[in-house]
Chain A
Amino acid sequence: MQSRIAVFCGKGGVGKTTLALALGLRQANRGRRAVVVTSHPLPELALAVSLTGLAARLPEAAKNLFVVHLDSKELLADLVRRSFTMPLLADRIIASSIYQSLVEVAPGLKEFYFLSRLQQLAERKQGLRDEPLSYDLLIWDAPATGHFLGTLRAARSFEAYLSGPLAAAGAEVGRFFSSPGRITILPVSTPEEMALQEMSEMCAELQENYQLRPATILLNMASPVLNATEGQVAAIEEDAANPALRFALGRARLERERAGQVESATGTLVTAVTRIRHTSSDIDLLESLGAQLDGLPV
């Protein structure tokens, strides 16, 4: 039995963490055991799902949703502890400056091991400390594009150095991260040119080097016009005397144009996630965003 893995990736600040949590919450509330994995310390929004309040509001989700921050250095320390059964020796190794500096400077080591743990988690080979091993859905809230691609690249170049306890892991990581069947790639972008450009380049590299194709592109913070027909848009344009409406329409037009360009550049359809207004709590916000993610193949 294996878990599915959904990867939210894209430029910094486009809403990857928020959408990852929204998907997790939605799926967990339907009874699937979901875990959101981040490689950065959890932001405030994550607290909304992991702390008080959720159990009272959505008991089913509270039972099934897990949010974890995986720190590469911690993971490697675990590996040392598992490899040396004498705890004192393991601690001496971990505390030694040789070990500390090597872990810091060895290129690709941390990145490789992070992916290796993610793969083991997805294939239910080795769980996290004190956690059960039976997630139905693994959601990776990946780091911003540069670091995300850097992680994949570094892990791959690290394969030249594999030996010892890491050697066995090497082949599995490579196989796992180029097997489209299990991984749902979900690039996220706002309708801004720079974010879209970065995302298109990311999709090209994922396709070329890892044979990974995105399931759909999530266009986050879209205007209500993104899903309208050309006729409807043209109709507003005719009597847009209000400068605010003209400005809004200008924004919306740009969005539509860019969504079209991105679809043809990447060969992937865009899913609009419209901006949510007036929510009274973070859980409300995540719920309404989650409802927009229902069609995703996860």
Chain B
Amino acid sequence: MKITVFVGTGGVGKTSVAAATGLARARAGHRCLVLTIDPARRLRTALGLTGAPEEQQVRLDPAAPGELWAAMLDVRATLDEAVRRYGDPELQPRILAHPIYAAIADSLAGMQELMAVERIDQLRLRGFEEIIVDTAPSRHALEFLDKPVAFANLADSSWVKLIGRTYKFVEATGMLSVGRATMEIYRKVESILGARLVSDVLDFYSLFVSIAEGYGERARKTVAMLRDPAVTGFRVVTAPQKAVRDARFFTEALAGRKFRAEAFYVNRMWPYDPGAGGGTGLAGELIEWYRDERSAQQAGFEALRAELRVPLAALPELDRDVEGVADLERIARNLLP
């Protein structure tokens, strides 16, 4: 089992690099899956993703000795699967129909991170040898490593268990079994946030607590796997203009979580040398624009090379957007081993 996690900010072509990596691994004979968050339309088509939550095998021509699969992270479907797989059969319908369940599943905040980890576990159970994970295009991407553990701790906290179970008890008996001081705080909180919100949330958690506990356990195992350098490697993708800033940020953010970046890619480097000549009019302006941009790109790359201590590679920008597997093959040629 090997996991490669790609991180990087928006617009750097991280998903294409992740997909090209999957392709290279399939060509090397592995059964490999690329888990993406939100690929561009053309890339989605290239990978044969239809929007269905199930993983799809990508057809390769010529055929590879291994297999390439692709899947999109569907937050709702992943959560539904967790409820069906791990929830008490009697409670499942109540959970799935609960208004708070719908709201929680749909509110982006945090759920994507929680479900990415759950999905990695689901895919592991399906027997993929290699999983390549494309994270959300943001500096906050690494939160996908923090939130599951925070959630696991919350699910485990005696308070959630107490309220979850007590609430059920209170509902059944109409009696209160928590301390007077706790109830006083509880009422004050209710007076601010609203009684219906508080009771709906607690009702939901009383149903959900067993699933949350199971989730917490799996999340801890998955994150431990992500932390094991024998299993998981982190690769940073950046664009030339922000190479140094991004690299510093991610090196620090990974190290702070005790992960280590194993490689950096500076993607979308403009490939052609414009030469020294100029031009007149608009053509001159355009070539000047290209030259400026390209030399800024190269300066960014060199600055990064000077301060980085892990493998670094430049990936050229293609003449057009990634449209099919052939374009991914072109990216794959320049990848690090």
Most buried by A among B137, B194, B200, B286: B286
Contact of A108 with B by CB under 8 A: yes
- Tell me the dominant secondary structure on chain B's binding face: helix
Most buried by B among A190, A194, A240: A194
Residues of B in contact with A, size category: 35 or more
Contact indicator A163/B195 (Cβ below 8 Å): yes
- Which residues of B from 109 to 161 have beta carbons under 8 Å from A? 109, 137-138, 140, 154, 157, 159-160
Segment from A47-55, A89-97, A116-124 that makes contact with B: A89-97
Residues of A near B189 (CB, < 8 A) are 93, 96, 98-99, 102
Smallest CB gap from A194: residue in B:
B40
Residues of B near A161 (CB, < 8 A) are 194, 196-197, 200
Smallest CB gap from B189: residue in A:
A99
A-B contact pairs, 5 of them (CB 8 A): A105-B201, A160-B99, A166-B192, A224-B285, A277-B293
Q: Which of A12, A44, A105, A109 contacts B137 (CB 8 A)?
A: A12
Residues of B near A154 (CB, < 8 A) are 103, 107, 109
8 A-B pairs with the lowest CB-CB distances in the bound complex, closest first: A13-B10, A12-B10, A107-B103, A244-B274, A163-B194, A194-B40, A248-B290, A161-B197
Residues of A near B159 (CB, < 8 A) are 97-98, 101
Contact indicator B192/A242 (Cβ below 8 Å): no
Q: How far is the CA of A153 from the CA of B103 in the complex (A)?
A: 10
Residues of A near B41 (CB, < 8 A) are 193-194, 197
Say yes or no: A12-B9 contact (C-beta < 8 A), given A99-B189, A108-B103, A252-B286.
yes
Smallest CB gap from B160: residue in A:
A101
Contact indicator B138/A12 (Cβ below 8 Å): yes
Q: How far is the CA of A242 from the CA of B286 in the complex (A)?
A: 12
Contact of A132 with B by CB under 8 A: no
Contact indicator A166/B194 (Cβ below 8 Å): yes
Contact indicator A275/B11 (Cβ below 8 Å): no
- Which residues of A from 209 to 264 have beta carbons under 8 Å from B? 223-225, 228, 232-233, 235-236, 239-240, 242-245, 247-250, 252, 254
Q: How far is the CA of A108 from the CA of B190 in the complex (A)?
A: 16
Residues of A near B160 (CB, < 8 A) are 101
Contact of A207 with B by CB under 8 A: no
- Tell me the dominant secondary structure on chain A's binding face: helix
Contact of A164 with B by CB under 8 A: yes
Residues of B near A160 (CB, < 8 A) are 99
Smallest CB gap from B110: residue in A:
A104
Contact of B62 with A by CB under 8 A: no
Contact indicator A109/B197 (Cβ below 8 Å): yes
Contact indicator A164/B191 (Cβ below 8 Å): yes
Contact of B310 with A by CB under 8 A: no
Contact indicator A102/B198 (Cβ below 8 Å): yes
Smallest CB gap from A104: residue in B:
B154
Residues of B near A277 (CB, < 8 A) are 289, 292-293, 296
Contact indicator B100/A190 (Cβ below 8 Å): no
Contact indicator A107/B198 (Cβ below 8 Å): no
Residues of A near B296 (CB, < 8 A) are 277
Residues of A near B290 (CB, < 8 A) are 244-245, 247-248
Residues of A in contact with B, size category: 35 or more
Contact indicator B138/A228 (Cβ below 8 Å): no
Q: Chain A interface (Cβ within 8 Å of chain B)?
A: 11-14, 40, 44, 79-80, 83-84, 89, 92-93, 96-99, 101-111, 144, 146-147, 150, 153-154, 157, 160-167, 190, 192-195, 197, 223-225, 228, 232-233, 235-236, 239-240, 242-245, 247-250, 252, 254, 275, 277-278
Q: How far is the CA of A162 from the CA of B193 in the complex (A)?
A: 8
Say yes or no: A225-B9 contact (C-beta < 8 A), given A101-B160, A248-B287.
no
Contact of B245 with A by CB under 8 A: yes
Residues of B near A244 (CB, < 8 A) are 270, 272-275, 287, 290-291, 294
Contact indicator A107/B194 (Cβ below 8 Å): no
Segment from B28-36, B78-86, B180-188, B220-228 that makes contact with A: B180-188
Q: How far is the CA of A146 from the CA of B283 in the complex (A)?
A: 39
Contact of B54 with A by CB under 8 A: no
Q: Which of B10, B42, B198, B319 contacts A247 (CB 8 A)?
A: B319
Contact of B277 with A by CB under 8 A: yes
Contact indicator A101/B185 (Cβ below 8 Å): no
> How near does chain B come to A230, taking the closest CB pair, in angstroms?
12
Contact indicator A163/B188 (Cβ below 8 Å): no
Residues of B near A107 (CB, < 8 A) are 100, 103-104, 106-107
Contact indicator B40/A197 (Cβ below 8 Å): yes
Contact indicator B272/A14 (Cβ below 8 Å): no
Residues of A near B274 (CB, < 8 A) are 242, 244-245
Q: How far is the CA of A258 from the CA of B285 in the complex (A)?
A: 21
Q: How far is the CA of A97 from the CA of B283 in the complex (A)?
A: 64
Contact indicator B281/A106 (Cβ below 8 Å): no
Q: How far is the CA of A89 from the CA of B189 in the complex (A)?
A: 11
Contact of B108 with A by CB under 8 A: yes
